[in-house]
A = this chain, B = another copy of it.
């Protein structure tokens, strides 16, 4: 599903947000953990089954109001093979519910290795004349440090299979400036990367006018977002750092275009752990998540 599919879902649900699925085990309500441990043991399998119940409950509570989910691969890889299996179950379930799936993997490598990563998540795997889909998602995040060689194979697959990518440009974390804010010539490194993102996006425009090559721009740097918005008018922005990391709705406004499109704002902990705030029973974790997702949607819509 290309960037058109993402924009269509955003319009349909009138909601420019994405729910992050970064399931730490201590986010999972105790009653779910207990049940899973009783059935599967206090093992990696037990942990993964607990997270599966939790993820499923979250997806069930969110799929009709949010356009997209963003599983963070690290929180699945950390449980080894069990975690990988959990990730693929979670992706399949989200897709079955009609959600656009952005897999946050920040992959990066050169030439044939970048091609292999792209094949793993966006494209197809070929072996002796047979064709396979390994871990099919709609979109992945990528890291630009290796330059065009590392991104071109993903862009090829975006064109071929109607997929999309978001490249890191200005990340939301405190130390993001150590490299990204260095000034080369007249411009910051994040501006140089923005120009590359523009180049990479050429020829990938969807009917919505946006390109398949988007940019990660942290909510915590609203001034930089304003500059980046003008440097990459046709790139969709994936905006982390809203809520738990300190970015407000006002802060993310600069990531949107005048048409009210152009950005999708992520909230992970804010939605997943909504039940831990404001007196919810832990059994109501999914309802709490939905309530927070609605509040976030309404807040974002109010500033656009």
Instruction: Evaluate contact between B78 and A125: CB separation under 8 angstroms.
Output: yes
Given known pairs A128-B25, A145-B143, the reply for A75 and B113 (CB within 8 Å) is yes
Instruction: Evaluate contact between B189 and A175: CB separation under 8 angstroms.
Output: no
Q: Check: A24 CB closer than 8 A to any chain B CB.
A: yes
Rounded to whole angstroms, the CA-CA distance of A176 and B108 in the bound complex is 12
- State the copy count for this chain: 2
A78: contacting residue among B80, B116, B172, B182, CB under 8 A: B116
Chain B nearest CB: distance from A1 CB in Å? 19
* A78 contact set on B, CB distance < 8 A: 116-117, 119-120, 125, 134
Q: What is the chain B residue whose CB lies nearest that of A42?
A: B130
Total interface residues on A, CB under 8 Å, equals: 71
Q: What is the chain B residue whose CB lies nearest that of A126?
A: B25
Enumerate the 6 nearest inter-chain pairs by beta-carbon distance, A residue then B residue, closest first: A147-B175, A147-B178, A110-B173, A182-B184, A80-B134, A74-B116
List A residues at the B interface (Cβ < 8 Å). 22, 24-25, 33, 37, 42-44, 47, 72, 74-75, 77-81, 83-85, 88, 104, 106-114, 116-117, 119-121, 125, 127-130, 132, 134-135, 143-150, 168, 171-180, 182-185, 189, 192-193, 196
